[in-house]
Amino acid sequence: MRWRVTVVFRGKFMTSTGSATADPSAFASIGPLADLKVVDLTRILAGPSAAQLLGDLGADVVKIERPGKGDDTRGWGPPFVQDAEGNDTRESAYFLCANRNKRSVAVDLASAEGQEIIHRLVADADIVLENFKAGHLARYRLDYASLSAINPRLVYCSITGFGQTGPYASYAGYDFMVQGMGGIMSVTGFSDEEGGRPTKIGVGIADLMCGMYAVSGILSAIHVREHTGRGQHIDMALFDSQIAWLANQGLSYLTTGEVPGRLGNAHPTIVPYETFEASDGEFIIACGNDGQFRKLMQIAGREELADDPRFRSNRDRIANRTALIPMLNACTRERPAAAWITALEQAGVPCGPINTLDKVFSDPQAVHRGARITMPHPSAGSGTVDLIGNPIKMSETPVSYRRAPPRVGEHTREVLMEELGLSEDEFARLSAAGVVGDVS
């Protein structure tokens, strides 16, 4: 079978015949998704993080924001980016974390003319992302039914707390709520006996994981569209995503019917695999097999424990966890953490420090892998902002960092006048009426 593949890069056409793939070099400088246009109607974290990932991979992402105010997270600080005089700007660190590689267009979605602008943007778009309450956008003619009638090829992804259907569909959903309702807090934190209580994870992981699942769904729908010519609606829920990544803990319950409890830093099915007390603080030992446990016991000078029937196999160590862990802590308290880590690394026993974020970003491996990137930003007194790099490393079509997180409405004029053809007079009229907003 032979077929023809046409790749469009904003006016440039490249055609390959007889092969399922275009020349990878064509994508190398602009990213693997450079032929995709995204209209991003999301705010907070789940949707913006998904759109940022698409942008990092080369997609043209147009972020729609409320004139004057913008994404809610712009006000979620301190910390804020500081200007040349050391004063806080409107750009929060929270907003910066999920809005790179986007153009900000400020449009009032509640106005008929604002809705018409979105309709025109969507006419040649590939993807729409939104995270309004279920059914909310129908009143503005911005729901899937309305927009797919304009553009049948549109892949439309809705992100909500609980999905478009079910008894909770109308409920607002926030990461913290979903961590509690979805079970992850019930297995996070130290046990009651150790003075612990259910604890949320220190970042909005339910939001972030939902955003990652959303990107997988979006790209799958784009793939199907290349065969069918039609887009589709993707219904993503934080609650669903949270349950999906309960992983081994969720399967332990489904397999046994026993509700797992909180184990602090310990692992439910591997021992020893937790934090231990050194003479100067805590560090991590993660023995994944019996051989590693034997090496640990040799370094600790307790070889007899490796042959003790209570600890000989991982199954034995799980059954006798409460006897083993105090013995190990008694050993590890005798030396500093760095000494343990050096000795264990040389022996091939997985271990590591518990780094604070200053140590994370200065770690040689993190530096080498590009964990911190720096981009120009007009609001920053230094002229630049530091951001967290994308972890995807692709040999032929790497991610790219083309645009720093935008100011509210920074690209309204550019997009509406240059791409939609609005005149200066029409733009001024819409701006005066509050339908659109310029950079602020």
Residues acting as catalytic residues: 207
* Cα–Cα dist 46/137, whole Å: 18
CA distances from 15 to 12, 32, 60, 216, 397 (A): 10, 16, 21, 26, 18
Q: Is 81 helix (H, G, I), strand (E, B) or coil?
A: strand
218 within 8 A of 155, measured Cβ to Cβ: yes
* Cα–Cα dist 312/208, whole Å: 40
44 within 8 A of 207, measured Cβ to Cβ: yes
* Cα–Cα dist 64/369, whole Å: 32
Look-up of token digits 């400020």: 106
Nearest to 112 by CA among 331, 391, 369, 433: 433
Q: Which two tokens stand for residue 24?
A: 């990878």
Residues 6+ apart with CB under 8 A from 256: none
**Peptide bond before 32: cis, by omega within 30 degrees of 0?**
no
Q: Which two tokens stand for residue 182?
A: 């979805």
Nearest to 97 by CA among 46, 58, 63: 46
Strands 372-376 and 281-286: unpaired
